[in-house]
Structure 1
């Protein structure tokens, strides 16, 4: 309770008289970035650590290119964490099992089956035990956030979800049940689970990594796992996808849609946690990184995810920071939107 009161007092003071430095610090917490390099001697890693130290980002995503070995990854994460030891850094990874794992090319990591295989071959108790082992491995490395579980519904039409066996089932109730066990297992190791891809990628016939994706056959059953897990207080983080869902918003990809992120997820479903974008460099979005970051924040996204540290001959961290900062200063983004996102993020970081 004391933390909540102090956070409230801080927010009131901050909103009443916000300096540029304080604003920059809040914006930094709203940015998560991917990077190159796998050890402390790499120039990009050293630069990244400086950005962390100066509060320009609040999290990093680990990709296969950052891994040399189990010990190498552990040392890399420790090095990055040492930049701001008093302020937790989100260290995120995609570890779903099956094809979607950053560890598949390495023999010294334990490997796990796909969600579809788990949903078809394991009961809920066995699934919990398996995901406890997965969480234990991530915990030993220093990872504190997993971009999983996928709570999309299985459909073979989807080249990126169904055809890669990333969803537990085509049945929303089964997806909810297995996702709940996944989250419980990770909660036991204090690792954040990120539900994805809201409001539902399962019926998308195209891949948002590669092209504009419109889901004309959207089934509102795809929202049920989110509704149930939010209602049960299991959902703390939700990742929004880049699909256009015409029955909700016929113009904007979900990530950039106020109707999807704020009206549906935050208001109608009463989600009080943190909304994370899918990678803002995916081709489904179009436009520039800076434009899309501003649109996403205005839509209600709390953390923008950018997979490349160096993008279009520019430091993407600086580009996104400056774009959001200038949008606040010009009135394009309301200060209350930044304060709300920051408070949501800090409230979750207090769990670590």
Structure 2
């Protein structure tokens, strides 16, 4: 095979321009055409050449997409694995939905679930000759929140029980549970729960404590166990999600079933933020945003619609660079008073990336609102651009996107 050498950097040629030229040669060698040296203006001189080559896959895929395909990547729609609704699946395919959420309990086991997922993946969009695979997620926390069970799946104990294990034991167990998910075609787990429920509230906390979904009652217990669950999942090749930022441990209402849920305790520096900070440092690729309102952080907006929560606290203060996903914006009572299209636009405007709706029939109204907003606001369009890139980069890490 003929060798391909990067151009020698000549005197007077900036590293920035030289990097772009070297990158173009490297990609041409790999059969990647159409890379312009004019891209140099966007290249950080400190970025290693290998990273530049890897990052262009998302760029090239994005460039080849239609607007409808780009917008579709911003959505995750619900599918019932035990009884997939062909009409809803066809709707999601029509709107180029890039991710699915396996919702509702299934006892069918890994092989049957894999068959359902393979059918969904076969309907994923093809862009520039390459299939852009679906992120396939579920809630596989353990205890009362384990969507998938049956042959091939372990019975996972509650997080409260997991929190009594050593972190080494939990990391190993989590890696095993993630392998089961992967064998079923699931590449994203909407877990671990990083919320801290104080012992004084315990089961009096409807969304988390009532179901023993917390690893413990202090940040000192939750953070290392949440990290261990996260690390085990990533070790087995399944993306994981810290939830429900900035925490649902102090609320007295469940946002799925209750409107006007307010946390009047948590601040931007509360110890209950620590598990999220720790998980981000441990490499969390996804963070889910709560739909409660945090009166001491942003009293005017639900967290899912708050740029203070997403842009300032999560991204700026905690340094999160991954994918921000919403809690359910479809059936959740917390957002029922907001028109479906506005829910999507508000979440994305606040800095979110993936709109999760358990009810996919809302996706047409949501995508229409997003596309309309894009025509009205260049700033919003820029945010959409950034969000789609984050999602495509996550897909590349999950092996769902290739440009070779």
Compute the TM-score of the two structures, normalised by the length of structure 1. Answer: 0.88
Post-superposition offset of 1:259: 0.7
Instruction: Report SS of the residue matched to 1:323.
Output: helix
The partner residue of 2:121 within 81, 101, 110 is 81
Distance verdict in 2 for CA 1:69–1:178, change over 3 Å: closer
Give the match for residue 58 of structure 1.
98
| Structure 1 residues 257 and 223: alpha-carbon distance in aligned structure 2, compared to 1, 3 A threshold | same
4+ residue stretches of structure 1 with deviation over 6 A?
A: none
How far residue 217 of structure 1 moved from its aligned partner, in angstroms, is 1.9
Contact 2:113 2:184 in 1 (8 A): yes
Alignment map for 1:199-278 (pairs within 5 Å)? 199-211=246-258, 212-218=260-266, 220-232=270-282, 234-278=283-327
1:305 aligns with 2:356: yes
CA distance in 1, matches of 2:114, 2:256: 29
Contact kept, 8 Å, 2:81 with 2:102, in 1: the verdict is no
Answer yes or no: is 1:153 the counterpart of 2:196.
yes
1:156-213: CA deviations, max 9, x gaps? 1311111211010122132111111111111122111010000011011111111120
Counterpart of 2:179 in structure 1 is: 136
Sort the Cα spacing of 1:10 and 1:65 in 2 relative to 1 into closer, same or farther, 3 A.
closer
- Unmatched segments (≥5 aa) in structure 2: 1-50, 125-129, 399-404
1:169 aligns with 2:169: no
Deviations 1:299-331 (A, max 9, x none): 001000000123xxxxx2211111100111122
Partner of 2:160: 116
Contact 2:95–2:364 (8 Å) recurs in 1:
no
1:184 aligns with 2:231: yes
Contact 2:341 2:369 in 1 (8 A): yes
Runs of 5+ unmatched residues, structure 1 = 311-315
TM-score by length of 2: 0.77
CA distance in structure 2 between the partners assigned to 1:320 and 1:68 by the alignment: 32
CA distance in 2, matches of 1:9, 1:81: 21
2 CA distance for matches of 1:45 and 1:39? 11
Determine whether 1:72 maps to 2:115.
no
Q: Conserved in 2, the CA contact under 8 Å of 1:309 and 1:317?
A: yes
C-alpha separation in 1, matches of 2:353 and 2:88: 25
In 2, Cα distance between equivalents of 1:29 and 1:67:
29
2:376 to 330, 342, 348: 330
Distance 1:227 1:65 in 2: 31
Shift of 1:108: 6.3
Asked if the contact 1:147/1:194 (under 8 Å) is kept, the reply is yes
SS at match of 2:309: helix
Task: Give the number of aligned pairs.
Answer: 333
SS of the residue aligned with 2:377?
coil
The whole-number CA distance in structure 1 between the counterparts of 2:242 and 2:67 is: 28
- Residue among 87, 94, 101 paired with 2:139: 94
Q: Provide the residue aligned with 1:313 in structure 2.
A: none
Q: Per-residue displacement from partner, 1:92-119 (whole Å, max 9, x unpaired)?
A: 0000000001136x57632110111111
Task: Give the Å deviation of 1:37.
Answer: 6.5
Query: Partners of 1:65 and 1:170 in 2: how far apart?
Result: 28
Match of 2:170 in 1: 127
2:97 and 2:107 mapped to 1: Cα distance? 21
Task: From the superposition, tell whether residues 39 and 76 of structure 1 become closer, same or farther in structure 2 (CA, over 3 Å).
Answer: farther
Query: Aligned with 2:294: secondary structure?
Result: coil
Separation in 1, partners of 2:205, 2:81: 32
Q: Is the 8 A contact 2:160 2:212 kept in 1?
A: yes
SS in structure 2 of the partner of residue 151 of structure 1: coil
Q: Secondary structure at the match of 2:220?
A: helix
Question: Are 1:193 and 2:240 matched, yes or no?
Answer: yes
340-349 vs 324-333, which moves further? 324-333
